[in-house]
Amino acid sequence: MHLLVWNEDLSVGITSLDDEHKVFITLLNKLYEAIQFGKTSTVLQQILDELVTYTVIHFEHEEEYMVATQYPDFEQHRQDHEAFREKLMHLQSKSQEHLSTGLSNEIFAFMKDWFTHHILNVDKALAVHLKQKGIS
């Protein structure tokens, strides 16, 4: 398992969304580094909580954009977010008992894969629409 490194392929071309995606990646890598350095479950939990909070806020921003611009695929995109939010909440509650290194690795891998796939496929499609609406 490796860090998720930002590169131009991940850019959707909308500055505010790219900036938020970069923050997410930074937080995700913070979790990765904490795992590598053998940090305590308390520290891992703090980072995970930060990641979950940030993800929820970021999704809200995207959803606000979609509503404001009457995005035709809003419902599908929102459902994709919802499924991820639910999975995150589940992992977060599972981790309350004890966030082991194994579970942290599982969470890191899941978030990294989901987010990469989501940016490349779902957010890029949204970005095309937003650009048509004059958002850059």
Contact residues: Fe ion, CB under 5 A? 62, 123
Q: How far is the CB of 36 from Fe ion (least distance, A)?
A: 28
Query: Residue 34 or residue 62: which is nearer to Fe ion going by CB?
Result: 62
Cβ of residue 48: shortest distance to Fe ion, in angstroms? 20
Amino acid 19 reads D
Query: With respect to Fe ion, which residue has the nearer C-beta, 34 or 123?
Result: 123
With beta carbons less than 8 A apart as the criterion, state whether 21 and 12 touch.
Answer: yes
> Quick one: 49 or 60, whose CB is closer to Fe ion?
60
**Helix or strand (DSSP H, E) at 30:** helix 15-36
Taking the least distance from each CB to Fe ion, the nearer of 108 and 123 is 123
- Nearest distance, CB of residue 84 and Fe ion, angstroms: 9
- Closest distance to Fe ion from the beta carbon of 120 (Å): 11
Q: Residue for token digits 């970005």?
A: 127
Spatial separation of the C-alpha atoms in residues 6 and 32, rounded to whole Å: 15
Q: What's the min distance (Å) between Cβ of 24 and Fe ion?
A: 11
Q: What's the farthest any 2 CA atoms get from each other in the chain?
A: 47
**51 versus 62: smaller Cβ distance to Fe ion:** 62
Please compute Rg for the chain using Cα positions. Answer: 15
